[in-house]
Amino acid sequence: MSSTTIVEPTPAERIRTVCTIPHAAVLVTDQYDPVSVALHHMLGEDLVVAVPDDTPPMHGLRAMVEINDISPLPLRERTRSLVWISGRVSETSDDAALAGEVAEQNPLPALLDVGNGTRLLRIPVESAVLADASGAASVPCGDLADAAPDPFADYEFAWLLHVESDHPEMIGQLSRRLPGRLRNHRIRLLGIDRYGVRLRAEHHELSDTDLRLNFPAPAADMAGLQRGIRILLGCPFLNGLRAG
């Protein structure tokens, strides 16, 4: 009896992807109230976060950053996953230089507020955990440092919103590939990455079910992503749908 391996991003890759895109996040320590995090980015083995200028000094404190990966679509439960990253805070002496390092990899708009309302902290990662509807996974720090975010992370939110508002028929086409037991569920888009499309089956009485439809092969570039989408839709020779 043959078995099929489901190809999907590793927990380490998923955490790196979540850290790349702006999400609601808080920093928690034992000594102070939770602090809102204006930006978060993995820089090597460190998590860099921006906190308000009036945040108390935290150098050396053990801290945990919780990042809430929220869908841009109005799902019944909008949280797609939660990420918890822990370590000891290191205050930086040169916010401008650190902001420049982050900007080279990820030019986040919130970097413009560094030195003008926010300051940066480095947190060398000691532990990282990803949790979603399927369970929780602890990720070794070395795996997290070696992993890369999904190459289409910046494209995902715009694509989800575009299909939801302008091409709802696509969801019906994708739904035909799902098991028959889900036909009385409401099928929603959940995410897209280089391996395929994620869907959520919502039911008014039962728990939601998250599923994945994989591309024939992981997408290496935008052309490959568009080709994978067309094949899942059953129209490999049509032009792909782009966001915007």
Q: DSSP H helical segments within the chain, as ranges?
A: 11-20, 95-105, 141-146, 153-166, 169-175, 222-233
- The answer to whether position 239 is within a domain reads no
Q: How confident is the model at residue 237 (pLDDT cuts 50, 70, 90)?
A: low
In the chain, how many domains are there? 2
Indicate if the pLDDT at residue 2 is higher than 80.
no
Cβ atoms of 133 and 210 closer than 8 Å: yes
Q: Are residues 106 and 217 both part of a single domain?
A: no
Q: Are residues 186 and 90 both part of a single domain?
A: no
For position 179, what pLDDT does the model report?
87
Cβ atoms of 67 and 19 closer than 8 Å: yes
* 67 vs 15: CA distance, rounded Å: 10
pLDDT in tens, 4-38: 555 899 999 999 999 999 999 999 999 999 999 99
Indicate if the pLDDT at residue 221 is higher than 60.
yes
Q: Are residues 133 and 41 both part of a single domain?
A: yes
CATH number (domain holding residue 209): 3.20.180.10
CATH number (domain holding residue 56): 2.30.110.10
For position 180, what pLDDT does the model report?
84
**Main-chain phi, psi angles of 58, to 5 degrees:** -130, 10
Q: Are residues 193 and 113 both part of a single domain?
A: no
Indicate if the pLDDT at residue 135 is higher than 60.
yes
For position 45, what pLDDT does the model report?
94
Domain end (from 91, 121, 145): 145
Three-state SS at 70: strand
Domain end (from 82, 116, 145): 145
Cβ atoms of 189 and 243 closer than 8 Å: no
Q: Are residues 24 and 130 both part of a single domain?
A: yes
pLDDT in tens, 33-62: 999 999 999 999 999 999 999 999 999 999
pLDDT in tens, 74-122: 999 999 999 999 999 999 999 999 999 999 999 999 999 999 999 999 9
For position 4, what pLDDT does the model report?
52
Helix axes 153-166, 11-20, angle to 10 degrees: 80
**Main-chain phi, psi angles of 242, to 5 degrees:** -110, 150
- The answer to whether position 188 is within a domain reads yes
Q: Are residues 42 and 86 both part of a single domain?
A: yes
- Residue 86: burial class (beta carbons within 10 Å; 0-12, 13-18, 19+): middle
pLDDT in tens, 143-189: 999 999 999 999 999 999 999 999 999 999 999 999 888 878 999 99
Q: Are residues 118 and 161 both part of a single domain?
A: no
Cβ atoms of 214 and 230 closer than 8 Å: no
- The answer to whether position 102 is within a domain reads yes
Q: Are residues 175 and 135 both part of a single domain?
A: no
- The answer to whether position 203 is within a domain reads yes
Position of tokens 């200028």? 53
User: How close are the terminal C-alpha atoms of the chain, in Å?
Assistant: 45
Three-state SS at 225: helix
Q: Are residues 135 and 159 both part of a single domain?
A: no
Domain end (from 145, 168, 190): 145
Report residue 140 as tokens: 């070794």
Q: Are residues 105 and 79 both part of a single domain?
A: yes
Q: How confident is the model at residue 129 (pLDDT cuts 50, 70, 90)?
A: very high
Cβ atoms of 116 and 106 closer than 8 Å: no
Three-state SS at 162: helix
pTM of the entire structure?
Answer: 0.91
- Residue 204: burial class (beta carbons within 10 Å; 0-12, 13-18, 19+): exposed
Q: What is the DSSP letter of 148?
A: -
Residue 125 belongs to what domain range?
11-145
Q: Are residues 101 and 82 both part of a single domain?
A: yes
* 100 vs 120: CA distance, rounded Å: 11
